[in-house]
A and B are shown apart, each in its own frame.
Chain A
Amino acid sequence: MSDTVIRVEHLGKQYRIGTQALQYRTLRESLTGIFSRDRQTQPVGRIWALKDISFEVQRGQVLGIVGRNGAGKSTLLKVLSRVTDPTEGLGEIHGRVGSLLEVGTGFHPELTGRENIYLNGAILGMRRSEIERKFDEIVEFSEVAQFIDTPVKRYSSGMYLRLAFAVAAHLEPEILVVDEVLAVGDAEFQRKCLGKMSDVAQQGRTVLFVSHNMSAILRLTQETLVIEKGHLKMRAPTPEAVDYYLSQGYAQEGQRTWDADEVPPDAAPFRPLAVRLLNMQRKVVDTVRSTEPFNIEMEYQLDAPITGLRVGLYLMSTRGEFIFTSFDTDDSQRFEQHPARAAGHYRSRCTIPADLLNEGRYVVGINASSFRVRRYFHDEQALNFTVDATGAPGMHWPEPRLGPARPRLDWQIEVV
């Protein structure tokens, strides 16, 4: 008997494209469609979110899955966890699949922490006896013991996430499918979650792990699938796959643009148009000099007014470590000037000062959100660029300098 736990062959998933409004028709539209011939003439766009995906996973393997937003990773996980059926191809899965496509699925704000542990555990496929057995462990992991009998709507967002992850982390299926759940929570908690994930892997269970966090992928997985535009581009040992992925054109010459169909429908009314790197002459560039300031500009359309909107960026190393996060309304006075943004076409541009970054490759992520209300859009890897350190402090010594910052500091040397 082979030890293959997941085998998929030529798996494909087709979606009808268009806005959501197209997907759920009104009854009237359908009824009139029956009587008129409109149905025939109305072209229905279809896209393959996944096409011809074949791979196998062995028992106990931890497989990473990387790809740009919209490449089809999430669709693949949804098909594997049976949330949606494939349009073509076959799959065979040995064992229970626990899917963690989102933390806190099914949490109800009115219920207490304790009640939500039971509810969420049952939704994730745990038996009641199993939940009872692990209850104390879950509470301890979540660090919310004091508030366990408080409705979760009174929790801070951090507490909420910790509790949600704690329940999910104690699932014990033979196959665990995890989507980007580690991107939430504070750094300390992320570390804890990563630790828990590697425990799971060491217990010999099979894990499929989707993440944009390359250091997490490198740490947890031995092998990784790279998915591009719905196709399986490569399967390789993780370091190789990560290198391929990072070098693979997600930099589009200093500019990344979004077509309408690349924007997830739940971003509405926010619609990203472009993010670009500009030098001081306002030219789009993909390499900047460490010794000169440069701009990062985000261009977007609001199809309806948004209250409390902030548009900002993350700067990360190519290994996924955050360097900083900044929003266009971080300045409280500016925030007061823009309490709400009317519908329209906008640009938010910031200047990154000279003598800040060390040489190397960097990744710009963008985020558009209203604090504690909603995250409209988020792409952790919108763009990447190179910093050239010519003329930077210390360049007369041809050595790599550690760390992402390369400030020009004011040194004094005194003889005492």
Chain B
Amino acid sequence: MSSKPQALPVTYLRPPRGWIPLNLSQLWAYRELIYFLTWRDIKVRYKQAVLGVGWAILQPILHMVIFTIIFSRLAGLKPDAGIDPDLYPIFSFAALLPWQLFQGALQRSSISLVANSNLLTKIYFPRLIIPFSAVAAGLVDFGFSFLVLVGLMLFYGVALSWNMVWLPLLMLLALLAALAVGLWLAALNVQYRDVQHMVPFLIQAWMYASPVAYSLDLIPADGPWRVLYALNPMVGVIQGFRWALLGAAPPSQIMWVSVAMVVVLLVSGLYYFRSMERTFADTV
């Protein structure tokens, strides 16, 4: 495989200065590495677990059972207006699905750089690959729990709606939200290990700040409250899921606020990550 001399790529080594371009095209060039790192994360996760991929199904089901007992039976929370209260299990499952996708992606991506420090200090590749592949690794789990959801819907006799075609976009939004925050946390974690202690708490608080166990109806519709609430991008995502699956109210203006928030976090996260990237190998 001798390569032609004129085809050789030229690399310049120079001290980093000033504004660092994002160079997202590099990610495309390294797409196979993203794929392999994602594949590794998925493989390794289930290798030694007796139940293997069964966990991907069990976790949201167990959560659903707990939520149904505590929030529906004991606390008496109701699904959105217009949804049969007996459907609370599906109502919560429809939110748990994107929530767990988001939560897993955020968890993995925020510790991803430190967890892969041996790669960072030995091999060059665009560092963005690491949080990207950490985020992508949750998709397989999502696929399995989605099958459970479809099963549950059939069991409860909920009609499937054409609005479901929007689900992939909503998933993408959840993943981008996780990536955006994950980029910030991953880069910060390289320098401040406090971050990894903070993440579980952050995720827990974030879940209560999202309509996972309860309905958006609890937030006052008049005044600025819903818009403020939707600054949490998972509000748009979850409401979107409930709309597409269960026919809850469409998340119209909420969705725009959530999307705008993700864009802001993502762009700033990418630039912050890139500006810190040069120090990763020296600090991690």
Contacts and interface: CB of A to CB of B under 8 A. Distances in A.
Nearest to B188: A27
A80 interface: yes
B13 A11 contact: yes
A122 B33 contact: yes
A110 B44 contact: yes
Nearest to B189: A24
A79 B13 contact: yes
Contacts of A127: 32
Given A84-B281, A110-B48, A122-B33, A99 B10 contact: no
A272 interface: no
A26 B192 contact: yes
A92 interface: yes
A128 B32 contact: yes
Interface in A103-155: 105-106, 108, 110-111, 115, 118-119, 122-125, 127-128, 151
Nearest to B6: A1
Contacts of A5: 8
A123 B36 contact: yes
Interface in B36-56: 36-37, 39-40, 43-44, 47-48
B9 interface: yes
Contacts of A79: 13
A111 B11 contact: no
B118 interface: yes
A123 B123 contact: yes
B278 interface: yes
B15 A82 contact: no
A101 B123 contact: yes
B3 A30 contact: no
Contact of A90 (B12, B37, B124): B12
A81 interface: yes
Nearest to A93: B11
Contact of B8 (A85, A95, A118, A125): A95
Interface string A58-98: 01000000000000000000111111111111111111110
B193 interface: yes
Interface in B1-30: 1-3, 5, 8-16
Given A25-B192, A26-B193, A99-B123, A80 B13 contact: yes
Contacts of A118: 36
B237 interface: no
A172 B191 CA distance: 35
Interface footprint category on B: 35 or more
Given A85-B13, A90-B12, A91-B13, A122 B283 contact: no
Nearest to A98: B123
B55 to A, nearest CB: 16
Nearest to A121: B36
A15 interface: yes
A124 B125 CA distance: 9
Contacts of B193: 24, 26
B10 A94 contact: yes
A100 B248 CA distance: 56
B194 A106 contact: no
B118 A106 contact: yes
Contacts of B5: 1, 3, 59
Contacts of B13: 8, 11, 79-80, 82, 85-86, 89-93
A105 B40 contact: no
B15 A85 contact: yes
Nearest to B284: A24
A83 B124 contact: yes
A82 B11 contact: yes
A99 B122 contact: yes
A58 B10 CA distance: 14
A78 B122 CA distance: 7
Nearest to B116: A106
B259 to A, nearest CB: 31
A72 B194 CA distance: 32
A97 B8 contact: no
Contacts of B125: 123, 125
B222 interface: no
A119 B40 CA distance: 7
Contacts of A123: 33, 36, 119, 123, 125
Interface in B60-119: 118-119
Contacts of B253: none
Contacts of A110: 43-44, 47-48
Nearest to A88: B15
Given A85-B16, A90-B13, A123-B33, 5 more contacts: A11-B13, A25-B191, A88-B15, A96-B8, A122-B36
Q: Which 10 A-B pairs have the closest CB atoms?
A: A91-B13, A82-B124, A122-B36, A27-B194, A95-B8, A27-B192, A93-B11, A84-B281, A105-B122, A110-B47
19 contacts: A26-B193, A28-B194, A79-B13, A81-B123, A83-B124, A86-B13, A91-B13, A101-B122, A106-B123, A110-B44, A110-B47, A119-B37, A123-B33, A123-B123, A123-B125, A128-B36, A151-B47, A174-B3, A204-B2
Interface of A: 1, 3, 5, 8, 11, 15, 23-28, 30, 59, 78-97, 99, 101-102, 105-106, 108, 110-111, 115, 118-119, 122-125, 127-128, 151, 172, 174, 203-204
